[in-house]
């Protein structure tokens, strides 16, 4: 159970090698010594390194094989995580940016992005909802994107997949609220990370640690949505309501 200050005692990372997900685990590990962390990720050096990093911070780490594109894996890995005790917070941390120009012309690339960023998170969300119902408590953190607010020409396949994910988890929050659960939808802007390596940083770019702090603060405060950084909220609200001919001329 979360303690009186809103700090979790157990954390499940779906996408256990995600830089943002690991930064979230680091942040809570500082606040909650002995934090139990379940890393759900594909086996390999990156998962091993992630487990060693968290163990070095005093976490009790469990690792489970998880491939988001395996439809049956979502229920299996959530049940395995819960077999070791209740999960206080689960972070849906996986996703892909993809090749924007290839994505709208190549069915294989479009399908990969859509399945990874929308279909798989929906399956994770359904599995996590069952967990929250059984436990009677739990927070689900969904890493969405500001791209979900208004898809742009430059990466609209990615943006559309995040828009679907964002809508699903926003609705899931309403469904779980009467059952003792909560959902926090996190909308970062440009995050300097492995995913965006080689790309020019957009204005108001942040690092994984800043997103992690927003997640930790948002969970502790019982928020349902956070923007990272916070000024992006009015910026995106303005962009969302711009007439299409004006929006089209912006260098986005």
Number of domains in the chain: 1
- pLDDT of 4 > 80? The answer is no
Could you tell me the pLDDT band of residue 160, with boundaries at 50, 70 and 90?
A: very high
3-state SS string over the chain? CCCCCCCCCEEEEECCCCHHHHHHHHHHHHHCCCCEEEEEECCCHHHHHHHHHHHHCCCEEEEEECCCCCCCHHHHHHHHHHHCCCCCEEEECCCCCCCHHHHCCCHHHHHHHHHHHHHHHHHHHHHHHHHHHHHCCEEEEEECCHHHCCCCHHHHHHHHHHHHHHHHHHHHHHHHHHHCEEEEEEEECCECCHHHCCCCCCCCCECHHHHHHHHHHHHHHCCCEEEECCCHHHHHHHHHHCCHHHHHHCCC
Could you tell me the pLDDT band of residue 183, with boundaries at 50, 70 and 90?
A: very high
Please indicate, yes or no, if residue 131 is contained in any of the structural domains: yes
Could you tell me the pLDDT band of residue 166, with boundaries at 50, 70 and 90?
A: very high
pLDDT tens profile 46-100: 999 999 999 999 999 999 999 999 999 999 999 999 999 999 999 999 999 999 9
Q: How many CB atoms lie within 10 A of CB 158?
A: 24
Please indicate, yes or no, if residue 4 is contained in any of the structural domains: no
39-72 per-residue burial string, b: 16 or more CB within 10 A, e: under 16: bbbeeeeebeebbeebeeeebebbbbebbbeeee
Please indicate, yes or no, if residue 160 is contained in any of the structural domains: yes
pLDDT tens profile 100-120: 999 999 999 999 999 999 999
Catalytic positions, written as ranges: 158
Whole-prediction pTM: 0.94
Cβ atoms of residues 69 and 43 within 8 Å: no
- pLDDT of 194 > 90? The answer is no
Please indicate, yes or no, if residue 5 is contained in any of the structural domains: no
Q: Which of 116, 103, 113, 228 is nearest to 154 (CA)?
A: 103
pLDDT tens profile 220-231: 999 999 999 999
- pLDDT for 82 equals 96
Please indicate, yes or no, if residue 2 is contained in any of the structural domains: no
Q: Which residue has the higher pLDDT, 252 or 174?
A: 174
- pLDDT for 52 equals 97
- pLDDT of 2 > 80? The answer is no
Q: 49 CB contacts (<8 Å, ≥6 apart)?
A: none
Percent of the chain with pLDDT over 90: 81
Please indicate, yes or no, if residue 3 is contained in any of the structural domains: no
Instruction: Compute the mean pLDDT over every residue in the chain, rounded to the nearest whole number.
Output: 94
- pLDDT for 89 equals 98
Please indicate, yes or no, if residue 209 is contained in any of the structural domains: yes
Q: How many CB atoms lie within 10 A of CB 108?
A: 9
Could you tell me the pLDDT band of residue 198, with boundaries at 50, 70 and 90?
A: confident
Please indicate, yes or no, if residue 58 is contained in any of the structural domains: yes
The domain that holds 131 is classified in CATH as: 3.40.50.720
Cβ atoms of residues 41 and 66 within 8 Å: yes
- pLDDT of 29 > 90? The answer is yes
Question: Domain span at residue 48?
Answer: 10-248
Could you tell me the pLDDT band of residue 200, with boundaries at 50, 70 and 90?
A: confident
- pLDDT for 213 equals 96
């Amino acid at each position: 159970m979360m303690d009186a200050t809103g700090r979790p005692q157990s954390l499940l990372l779906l996408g256990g090698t995600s830089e943002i997900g690991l930064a979230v685990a680091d942040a809570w590990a500082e606040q909650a010594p002995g934090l139990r962390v379940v890393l759900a990720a594909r086996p390999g050096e990156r998962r091993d390194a992630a487990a060693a990093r968290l163990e070095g911070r005093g976490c009790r780490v469990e690792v489970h094989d998880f491939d988001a594109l395996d439809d049956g894996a979502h229920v299996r890995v959530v049940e395995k995580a819960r077999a070791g005790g209740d999960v206080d917070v689960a972070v849906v941390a996986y996703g892909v940016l993809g090749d924007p120009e290839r994505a709208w012309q190549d069915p294989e690339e479009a399908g990969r992005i859509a399945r990874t960023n929308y279909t798989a998170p929906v399956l994770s969300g359904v599995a996590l909802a069952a967990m929250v119902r059984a436990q009677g408590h739990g927070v689900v953190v969904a890493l969405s994107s500001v791209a979900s607010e208004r898809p742009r020409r430059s990466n609209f396949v990615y943006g559309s997949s995040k828009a679907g994910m964002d809508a699903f988890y926003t609705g899931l929050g309403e469904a779980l609220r009467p059952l003792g659960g909560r959902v926090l939808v996190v909308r970062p802007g440009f995050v300097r990370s492995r995913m965006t390596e080689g790309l020019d940083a957009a204005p108001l770019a942040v690092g994984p640690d800043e997103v992690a702090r927003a997640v930790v603060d948002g969970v502790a405060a019982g928020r349902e949505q956070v923007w990272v950084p916070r000024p992006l909220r009015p910026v995106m609200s303005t962009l969302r309501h711009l007439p299409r001919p004006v929006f089209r001329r912006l260098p986005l």
